[in-house]
Chains A and B, each alone.
Chain A
Amino acid sequence: MKKELMSGNEAIARGVYEAGVRFAAAYPGTPSTEIMEEFAKYDGVYAEWAPNEKVAVEVAIGAALGGAKALAVMKHVGVNVAADPIFTVSYTGIAGALVIISADDPSMHSSQNEQDNRNYAKFAKIPMLEPADPQEAKDYVRLAFKISEQFDTPVFLRTTTRVSHSKSVVTLSEPQISEDKTTLAYNAGKYVMVPINARTRRVEVEKRQQALKEFVETFPENKMEINDPEVGIITAGMPYNYTKDVFPNFSYLKLGMVYPLPEKLIRDFASQVKKIYVVEELDPYLEEQIKAMGIKVIGKEIFPYTNEFDPGIIKNAINSNLESAVSPYKENLAQRPPNLCPGCPHRGLFYALKKSKAYVHGDIGCYTLSYLKPLEGLHSCICMGASIGMAHGMSKALGEKGKGKVVGVIGDSTFLHSGITPLMNMAYNNSDALIIILDNSTTAMTGMQEHPGTGYTLMGKEAKKVNLKVLVSALGIENIKVIDPNNIKETQSAIKEELANSGPSVIIAQRPCALFKRANVKSQPPLKVDSDKCEGCKSCLGLNCPPISWKKGVTKEGSKRKGISFIDATLCNGCGLCAQVCKFDAIS
């Protein structure tokens, strides 16, 4: 069969297609986003961006209850949002098939926490597979759909950033012919989770657990390799590869299914090796369950709880006498934090907002980057949609002390994800906070995905477009302003006015993302600093715009300046913010 270089996410999409699945729903989130983008490219599939992960799972459950094989995809924190339906679909089971992908992010490459979602499998009593590389990602997602059909259960597939975003050689298989098994089959006793039915299903869950525990003992992807009997490694997912890389001769029990665990197989392995290490990133999830079996293993007493591993971390943990590799370069290097792009519409907004000295509750999106110096635009950021509820809560708690000083900022995609209900609450409970919706017409942070406010679907079809102003008004908000955040004066005065208003206010700051191709944001000619006029005040540097830099030592007769600003014409997109900020009319 054909071999291709594929990322874990591309391989999952391929595996889903090969499994004959034609239905998927998701909300984008790194490191999971490409799974849906790739799946949507296959012929004959239906794939949609839902406004959030809870909706995506419910859409997939509905499809599965109608007999379809359905997929729901999200990042690890998305499972928190979707947890409500997930815990109960575990009781009902599914008529077709249902696989939920959780893409975890050890090391928090682009996340607010590094929760270990293997715990969800145990918590919700849902079987979980964990691939170690793209080939396994493709194969395991096919197996996940089989297990789902066989045991009438949702199945989790857990990946991590390193599996999703590494690439390796994948052997493709012939796609299964997709049969249409959808039908309206009524079975209210199984699917209406009122207490009387839930109690019955609860018992069925335990029966299923028993059946799965037997199944997993002979599941071929739980693989035992007996080499050196002195040391045995029990592991799963990517840490298997890291360990195998540095200790190729140890014995291994590599678990392809991390819930439920194969107790007999683990005991068998333990009887064949002298000393056992459990190698796993994040929580001692396997370790605690294996220790509960009464098996002596070494785990988190030598391996870190935090961050992803690499081969060196494992080698140094096991051989504690090794010296770690060190860099010969000892000086401090300037960091390269991610920054708002040249021409980003958030820059002007945060520059203006800083002048108000308000306490700003932030949210999840590109604008979270405004937290860094020198914009320092946010004072809190917890999770998707949290800014609005938090701003309201703080404003209520502070009363008069907080008047005109509490703001929440949230992007358009995030607002539609989970900002509507808390905004409704602000109207209902008569809040005094100001909410600013940063409407850049796309889901920018994850790479320009569509959402209900963009007017297009994932499949590229034109769609109904949410009118944010009408929506906000319908929720009961009376003070609404729509502004262009690239006009700093207008933005400043709108913020000042709305902060002074009593009752809840919303400013919709509308300007498309500078990188958004469809919005056709035309770059203007690059700006230039007039070195005769520049007084070296550094005001423009306060924007933290990538093309603007400081040239030290360029002095001028009759001026106290110690240097001047310089604009790199190859990076500048001509948005003009710096010209608005300059007090000496030196930029044009």
Chain B
Amino acid sequence: MIDSKVKSILFAGVGGQGILRASDIMCMAMMEAGFDVKKSEVHGMAQRGGCVTSHVRYGSKVYSPLAESGSIETLVSFEKMEALRYLKFLSKDASIILNTEEIYPPAVNRGDSEYPNDVIDFLKNHYPKVIALNAAKLAHEAGNIRAANVVLLGAVSNLMNIEKSVWESVIKKSFPQKLLKLNLDAFQMGITA
């Protein structure tokens, strides 16, 4: 086991975006790199287009699968406005990976509520590192829009001290052969985005 303080990553987005799959791959990479790791996730009602979050925590010994508010070092937001929902959990010097894709909540669809229009500027004004990318567009270029979650993993991998070979090994374990090249390409697109 590696000797290190526990760190936390928060994955957030909307049901159906592949958030839990992405946080699983992240955990497997941490395990393979020699860390203890725990993650939390929410099932059930959240799959029906509701909010989905997953905390991933790693270090030499992890107790809680949930991080304390105000302590999370990295946020990976799979949807633009969802990033704003969880800022309470972030430390003041947190890094944010932001997918700029917008998915309207029902109240916005009905015209009863506005979609916030200042998300990226707001985040940049409050946090030292905000990396915004259109993961859906990049995934589409890699071959399938559904690989947007792996694009975002590529982007967050830049912030973590883990060998690329480890990531590639866990991606190989996570997808069937016919989807492998697509996902490795998507991961690379996230790294270079």
Residues of A at the B interface (CB closer than 8 Å) are: 3, 5, 30-31, 109-110, 133, 161-162, 165-169, 240-242, 244-246, 310-312, 315, 324-329, 331, 333-341, 366, 369, 372, 374, 445-446, 538, 541, 544, 546, 548-550, 552, 563
Contact = CB atoms under 8 A, between A and B. Distances in A.
B87 A328 contact: yes
A525 to B, nearest CB: 19
> Which of A336, A338, A548 has most B Cβ within 10 Å?
A336
B69 A329 contact: no
Interface in B35-53: 36-51
A244 B63 CA distance: 7
A421 B8 CA distance: 50
A-B interface, 10 closest residue pairs, ranked by CB to CB distance from nearest: A325-B70, A110-B44, A338-B48, A550-B111, A325-B69, A245-B64, A30-B44, A166-B65, A549-B109, A338-B50
Which label, helix, strand, loop or mixed, suits the secondary structure of the A interface? Answer: loop
Interface stretch (B100-108, B148-156, B182-190): B100-108
B68 interface: yes
Contacts of B14: 336
Nearest to B109: A549
Given A166-B65, A245-B63, A336 B50 contact: yes
A242 B69 CA distance: 12
B147 interface: no
A8 to B, nearest CB: 10
Contacts, number: 159
A241 B63 CA distance: 5
Contact of A541 (B63, B69, B81, B109): B109
B48 A31 contact: no
A514 to B, nearest CB: 12
Contacts of A241: 63-65
Given A133-B38, A336-B50, A550-B110, A327 B27 contact: no
30 contacts: A5-B24, A31-B44, A110-B43, A110-B45, A167-B24, A167-B65, A168-B62, A169-B31, A240-B63, A241-B64, A242-B64, A310-B68, A312-B69, A325-B69, A325-B88, A328-B87, A333-B81, A334-B81, A334-B106, A336-B50, A338-B15, A338-B45, A338-B50, A341-B49, A369-B48, A446-B44, A541-B110, A546-B106, A549-B110, A552-B111
B138 interface: no
B164 interface: no
Contacts of B110: 374, 538, 541, 544, 549-550
A311 B105 contact: no
B66 interface: yes
A340 B47 CA distance: 10
Interface of B: 6, 14-15, 24, 27-28, 31, 36-51, 62-71, 81, 84-89, 104-111, 113-116, 122, 126
A548 B106 CA distance: 9
Contacts of B86: 327
A393 B1 CA distance: 62
Given A109-B44, A549-B108, A333 B84 contact: yes
A329 B39 CA distance: 26
Contacts of B65: 133, 162, 166-168, 241
A456 B49 CA distance: 28
A325 B86 CA distance: 11
Contacts of A326: 88
Contacts of A327: 84, 86-88
B137 to A, nearest CB: 13
Nearest to B88: A327
Given A327-B87, A541-B109, A168 B64 contact: no
Nearest to A110: B44
B48 A339 contact: yes
B31 to A, nearest CB: 6
A373 to B, nearest CB: 8
B64 A336 contact: no
Contacts of B107: 334-335
B69 A166 contact: no
Contacts of B62: 168
Given A166-B65, A549-B109, A336 B49 contact: yes
Contacts of A341: 48-49
Contacts of B49: 336, 338-339, 341, 546
Contact of A366 (B40, B48, B106): B48
Contacts of A335: 105, 107
A329 B87 CA distance: 7
Contacts of A336: 14, 49-51, 105-106
